């Protein structure tokens, strides 16, 4: 199977859905001629024209509102938020409009809207361009949150998101854009709401999503050399959570370490931990552990950023200590 970049997989998904469905269009800052801040949409305006790949003013609240209106009129807009940090400017449109209309009109209206947003640190962009805010959106009923870790999932999940009749926040790690992975040329979809075990193990379950899935795999390979068998579970979708697969894995291993790039307090890991406690507490052989970013703004200096963010080394250390205490 061919291997392509994560960013190219996203571009392919957009192009294929625009070819398939004329109601699909994009809008965002510098996405046409410039190709977006990370060049994900490069070449799409030449192929589909500027009416379907639309540059917008620097006004996230305005163009997310426009996209919500377009979705209500039967279009399937894809919004490009240049950095996830900027999505805060459109919180009213997302939380009080796009996600509520279906319910307010008794299911008579639908809002098929995708909001793509690069997230996370690792590029020394500093506190206002490096945040991981996906936990905020898990709290909003009516909103789906997807966070793929591989090029294969990025393409298949984005296609599913575009075809979904609900608003979807589609989280893309900046550091994954340059990662390659196998992606078939034929048509395929990856359903939203389904987690996946990407590595079988017996001693501990590493639960992660997006870039932290990659870091968890690295940690699992290191720990394997020490005789520690880690099962790695990629959540893939944060809302809805696939707690069936999470519970199955934790019951099997008896231990869970949850890894996320967002801040520790009130993060994705806190919700997953609570649900594990509710569903399979009696099967736990050790307390649940979380590996996450420190509760500080993401630093700009490389050494400080690395100190603040989670990585494979911190996962390895956490697993070692857990097994030393509870083996």
Same domain, 158 and 224: no
Among 159, 182, 205, identify where a domain stops.
182
pLDDT in tens, 215-266: 999 999 999 999 999 999 999 999 999 999 999 999 999 999 999 999 999 9
pTM above 0.95, yes or no: yes
Written as six digits, the tokens of 101 are 């209309």
CB 326 within 8 A of CB 255: yes
Q: Are residues 140 and 206 in the same domain?
A: no
Q: Is residue 190 part of a domain?
A: no
Q: What is the pLDDT of residue 8?
A: 98
Identify whether 143 is part of a domain: yes
Residue 311 lies in a domain: yes
In a domain, 33, yes or no: yes
Do 161 and 79 form a contact (C-beta atoms < 8 A)? no
Q: Where in the sequence is the domain holding 280, given as residue range(s)?
A: 196-325
**Whether 201 contacts 171, CB under 8 Å:** no
Q: Nearest Cα to 49, choosing from 17, 71, 26?
A: 26
- Residues with a catalytic annotation lie at 60, 129
The answer to whether position 188 is within a domain reads no
Domain boundary among 153, 182, 211: 182
Q: Note whether 223 and 106 are same-domain residues.
A: no
| Count of domains observed in the chain | 2
Do 20 and 124 lie in one domain? The reply is yes
CA distance 103 to 105: 5
Per-residue pLDDT at 323: 97
E strand residue ranges, the chain: 3-5, 24-28, 53-55, 76-80, 114-119, 144-146, 168-173, 180-182, 196-199, 204-208, 230-234, 237-239, 256-263, 289-293
pLDDT value for 1: 86
Running DSSP on this structure, what letter comes out for residue 274?
H
Do 232 and 296 sit in the same domain of this protein? yes
Q: Does 32 share its domain with 65? A: yes
Instruction: Write down which residue in 152, 182, 212 finishes a domain.
Output: 182
User: Looking at the structure, do residues 246 and 207 belong to the same domain, yes or no?
Assistant: yes
Position 12 in a domain? yes
**pLDDT at site 235:** 98
29, 99: one domain: yes
Q: Which residues of 90-109 are buried (b: 16+ CB within 10 A; e: fewer)?
A: bbebbbebbbbbbeeeeeee
CATH code, domain with 141: 3.40.50.970
Segment 176-203, tens digit of pLDDT: 999 999 999 999 999 999 999 999 999 9
Residues 133 and 214 in one domain: no
Residue 66 and residue 211 in one domain: no
Is the CB of residue 252 less than 8 Å from the CB of residue 204? no
Q: Is residue 191 assigned to a domain?
A: no
CATH number at residue 307: 3.40.50.920
Residues in the chain with pLDDT values less than 50: none
Residue 67 within any structural domain of the chain: yes
Residues 213 and 316 in one domain: yes
Residues 237 and 161 in one domain: no
What is the pLDDT at residue 327?
82
């Amino acid at each position: 199977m061919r291997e392509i970049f994560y960013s190219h997989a996203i571009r392919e998904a957009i192009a294929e859905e625009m070819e398939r469905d004329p109601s699909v269009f994009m809008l965002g800052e510098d996405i046409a001629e410039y190709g977006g801040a990370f060049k994900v949409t490069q070449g799409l305006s030449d192929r589909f024209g500027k009416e379907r790949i639309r540059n917008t003013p620097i006004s996230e609240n305005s163009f997310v509102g426009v996209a919500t209106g377009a979705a209500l009129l039967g279009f399937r807009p894809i919004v490009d938020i240049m950095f996830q940090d900027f999505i805060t400017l459109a919180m009213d449109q997302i939380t009080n409009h796009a996600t509520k209309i279906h319910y307010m009109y008794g299911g008579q209206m639908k809002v098929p809207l995708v909001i793509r947003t690069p997230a996370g640190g690792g590029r020394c962009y500093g506190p206002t361009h490096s945040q991981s805010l996906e936990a905020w959106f898990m709290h909003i009923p009516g909103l789906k949150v997807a966070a793929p870790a591989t090029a294969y999932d990025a393409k298949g999940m984005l296609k599913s998101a575009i075809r979904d009749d609900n608003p979807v926040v589609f989280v893309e790690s900046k550091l994954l854009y340059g990662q390659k992975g196998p992606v078939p040329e034929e048509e395929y979809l990856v359903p939203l709401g389904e987690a996946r075990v990407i590595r079988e193990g017996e001693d501990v379950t590493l639960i992660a999503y997006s870039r932290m899935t990659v870091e968890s795999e690295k940690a699992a390979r290191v720990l394997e050399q020490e005789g520690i068998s880690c099962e790695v579970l990629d959540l893939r979708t944060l809302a809805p959570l696939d707690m069936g697969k999470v519970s199955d894995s934790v019951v099997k291993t008896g231990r869970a370490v949850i890894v996320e790039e967002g801040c520790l307090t009130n993060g994705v890991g806190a919700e997953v931990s609570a649900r594990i406690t509710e569903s399979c507490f009696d099967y736990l052989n050790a307390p649940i552990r979380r590996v996450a970013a420190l509760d500080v703004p993401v630093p700009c200096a490389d050494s400080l950023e690395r100190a603040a963010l989670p990585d494979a080394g911190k996962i390895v250390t956490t697993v070692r200590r857990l097994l030393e205490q509870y083996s």
